């Protein structure tokens, strides 16, 4: 039985180095599980991995794809936790841009069969990152404010929805004014432009209410604006660097505001988290995705064969959501 997959033999421009291949599927043994993959998003991390600029180096030839969703097609003789037909998401962090993915059973998490497959394909990274941002760095009482930049990103949208679920309020910075009403409809409490005027408006809106947590996906001047809004002893967690500009912290934010700066790479968390820790996060997030409590906007779904068009679209700033590969 043959199966198609996307692979790059060297790092570089994804449109140039990625190509479509086929292979024969090998028989399963031991605890191996073969999953028929259905959908996989094109994330910034996937682009960076192919380019060779990701935090974890690629060792070509590689099949990219950090997350996806599919159904168990076959199991090895020693498998006990999964059965054919189960809907699963891979926990591997690579290899999802393929029609079939084979790995030991503990590398898959079973999810409800009625869940939307496209939404489930985006469960592993952005919602989990948003959860970690809100839960792992500060204990926030109901009604607390959280500030973030890149609020229209996948993580940003998940954070808005999760914060509302937890009873928290979000102050969100974006670059484009047309995003304001859209994010407010998603549950954002305040959406402001990511500039100096936006900081002034934020201060006026907040008054004397404290802001103890900031989520930074941009770096550069945008991160400085978050630090400006944070209250003394506040915490800023950096999980992305969309501006590709270094984080340069003025002394006043450390000396006079005593801000705490942390970094989050959710890939590392997946590598070190125990099974109970994984389930503590994945189970409630899965329930929220299933019941519509977390909805990720979709820009366009591309057939696997049109991967070059998908990659081009995924790197355009005018997108209104995620680009998805249909792996059928």
Q: Is 54 a catalytic residue?
A: yes
Give which of 23, 25, 34 is closest to 77, Cα–Cα: 34
Q: Is 97 helix (H, G, I), strand (E, B) or coil?
A: coil
**Cβ atoms 310, 287 nearer than 8 A:** no
What secondary structure does DSSP assign to 236-287, as a single string?
A: EEE---TT-B-----HHHHHTS--EEEE--HHHHHHH--HHHHHHHHHHHHH
> Please, what is the Cα angle at 321 between 107 and 218, to 5 degrees?
85
Q: How far is CA 12 from CA 16, 17, 21, 63, 93, in A?
A: 7, 6, 18, 14, 20
Q: Tell the burial category of 271 from Cβ atoms under 10 Å away from its Cβ (0-12, 13-18, 19+).
A: exposed
User: Using CA atoms, how far apart are residues 238 and 243, in angstroms rounded to an integer?
Assistant: 12
User: Using CA atoms, how far apart are residues 40 and 120, in angstroms rounded to an integer?
Assistant: 9
Q: Which residue among the candidates 39, 54, 137, 239 is catalytic per the annotation?
A: 54
H helix or E strand, kind and range, residue 131 = helix 126-135
**Cβ atoms within 10 A of the Cβ of 244, count?**
9
User: Using CA atoms, how far apart are residues 130 and 25, in angstroms rounded to an integer?
Assistant: 36
Residue 194, CB-side half-sphere exposure with 13 Å CA sphere = 25
Residues recognised as catalytic: 54
């Amino acid at each position: 039985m043959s199966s198609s997959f996307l692979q790059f033999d060297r790092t570089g421009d994804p449109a140039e180095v990625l190509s479509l291949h086929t292979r024969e599927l090998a028989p399963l043994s031991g605890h191996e599980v073969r999953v028929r993959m259905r959908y996989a998003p094109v994330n910034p991390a996937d682009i960076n991995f192919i380019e060779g600029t990701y935090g974890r180096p690629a060792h070509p030839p590689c099949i990219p794809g950090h997350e996806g969703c599919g159904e168990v097609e076959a199991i090895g003789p020693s498998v006990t936790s999964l059965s054919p037909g189960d809907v699963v998401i891979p926990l591997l962090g690579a290899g999802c841009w393929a029609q079939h993915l084979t790995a030991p059973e503990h590398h898959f998490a079973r999810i409800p069969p009625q869940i939307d497959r496209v939404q489930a394909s985006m469960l592993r990274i952005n919602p989990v990152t948003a959860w970690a941002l809100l839960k792992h760095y500060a204990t926030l009482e109901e009604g607390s404010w959280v500030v973030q930049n890149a609020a229209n990103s996948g993580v940003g949208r998940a954070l808005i929805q999760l914060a509302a679920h937890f009873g928290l309020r979000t102050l969100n910075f974006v670059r484009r004014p047309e995003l304001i009403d859209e994010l407010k409809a998603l549950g954002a409490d305040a959406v402001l432009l990511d500039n100096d005027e936006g900081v002034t408006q934020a201060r006026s809106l907040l008054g004397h209410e404290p802001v103890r947590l900031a989520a930074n996906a941009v770096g550069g001047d945008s991160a400085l604006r978050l630090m400006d809004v944070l209250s003394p002893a506040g915490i800023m967690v950096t999980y992305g660097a969309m501006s590709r500009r270094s984080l340069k912290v003025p002394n006043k934010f450390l000396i006079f505001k005593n801000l705490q700066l942390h970094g989050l790479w959710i890939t590392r968390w997946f590598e070190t988290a125990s099974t109970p820790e994984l389930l503590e996060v994945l189970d409630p997030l899965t329930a929220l995705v299933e019941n519509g409590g977390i909805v990720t906007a979709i820009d366009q779904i591309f057939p696997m064969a049109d991967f070059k068009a998908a990659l081009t679209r995924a790197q355009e700033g005018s997108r209104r959501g995620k680009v998805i590969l249909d792996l059928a």
